[in-house]
Amino acid sequence: MAKKNVSIFMLTALAVLTAQCLTGGEAAPADGGAEIPAGEKYVALTFDDGPRRGTTERLLDGLKERGAKATFFLIGQQIEDNAALVARMAEEGHQIGNHTWSHQRLDGILPDEAAQEVARTEAALEALLGGGEYWLRPPYGQVAEGADFGVPLVKWCVDPRDWESRDAGKVAQAVLECAEPGSIILLHDIYPTSVEAALQVVDRLQEEGYWFVTVEELLWLNGVKPEAGRMYRTGRG
C-alpha cells in the first residue's frame, strides 16, 4: 500500500473512532468507501503465490461484490505479466505485499540472495504502483535469524492447507472452525477451489458480523503499530 493510502486510511479510521466516541456508534466512510466501525469483529484474508490470471480476477470480482478487503503477497516474477490485475488490487483498496521474486525459502539461501529476492520484487511493485512499503510474507513463513528486510513480516494463525485438499467446502470449513476476531487467514489465489472457499468464508462471516480488512488495517484497528523486522501472526501483534 502506498504511504499516501496508509495515511488516508489512518486519518479516516481516526475520524471513525472519534465519531464513535462522540455519537456512540455511527460509522463514517473509510478508505475506498467502505465503512469500518470501531470495536467490531475484524479478520484479514491473505492470499499468497499470485497473481494468476483467471483465479485472481474471479477473487477480485467476488471481494468487490461483497465489499471485502484482502492482502495479496505477490511473487515478483509474476507481476509484469499481470500488471493490470495488480493495479486493480491497489485501486480497489487491497494491501499488496512481497512474497519474494521466485518463491525461495529465505532461510535456505545466502543472505545476499535473500535480500535480492525481496528487493527485486519491491522494485517491480514500485515501478508499477509507486513508492510505498510492501510488507513481506516469507515463503514457508521463515526468515534466517537476524535477517532484516526493513518492513514488517506477516505470518498467519489460520491455515486450512488449501493447497493440499483443493476442496472448496473443506477449506471453507477449516477456516470457519478456527477464525476469530483478529485472525490472519492464509489462502492461495492460484487455486479455483481456494477462491471459491474464500468467498464462502466471506459470506458466512459477514452474516456473523465480521468485517474483512487488510493486515495493515487489522493491526491498526487493534491498536498495534507495525514495526519493521517483526513477524505478525495475528492482528493483535
Four-residue CA torsion sign, 42, 230, 171, 100: positive
Closer by beta carbon to Ni ion, 137 or else 205: 137
| Residues 86 to 125 in contact with Ni ion, rule: CB under 5 A | none
Four-residue CA torsion sign, 19, 22, 25, 26: negative
Active-site annotation, residues: 48, 188
CB of 118 to Ni ion, least distance (A): 14
Nearest position to Ni ion, beta carbon: 48
Closer by beta carbon to Ni ion, 37 or else 97: 97
CB of 99 to Ni ion, least distance (A): 6
Closer by beta carbon to Ni ion, 13 or else 74: 74
CB of 85 to Ni ion, least distance (A): 17
Binding of residue 48 to Ni ion (CB under 5 A): yes
Query: Strand pairing of 210-212 and 41-48?
Result: parallel
Cis omega (within 30 of 0) for bond into 181: no
Stretch that binds Ni ion, among 41-49, 85-93, 106-114, 153-161 (CB under 5 A): 41-49
CB of 37 to Ni ion, least distance (A): 33
CB of 62 to Ni ion, least distance (A): 21
Query: Which residue in 31, 49, 122, 189 binds Ni ion (CB under 5 A)?
Result: 49
Contact 56, 85 (CB under 8 A): yes
Query: What single string gives the DSSP state of each residue in 89-158?
Result: HHHTT-EEEE--SS---TTSS-HHHHHHHHHHHHHHHHHHH-S----B--GGG---TT---SS-EE--SB
Closest residue by Cα to residue 188 from 165, 206, 204, 209: 165
Closer by beta carbon to Ni ion, 49 or else 216: 49
Closer by beta carbon to Ni ion, 23 or else 102: 102
| Residues 121 to 140 in contact with Ni ion, rule: CB under 5 A | 139
**Whole-angstrom Cα Rg for the chain:** 17
Cell reading at 45? 484474508
Contact 46, 235 (CB under 8 A): no
Stretch that binds Ni ion, among 12-20, 43-51, 82-90, 150-158 (CB under 5 A): 43-51
Contact set with Ni ion (CB under 5 A): 48-49, 139
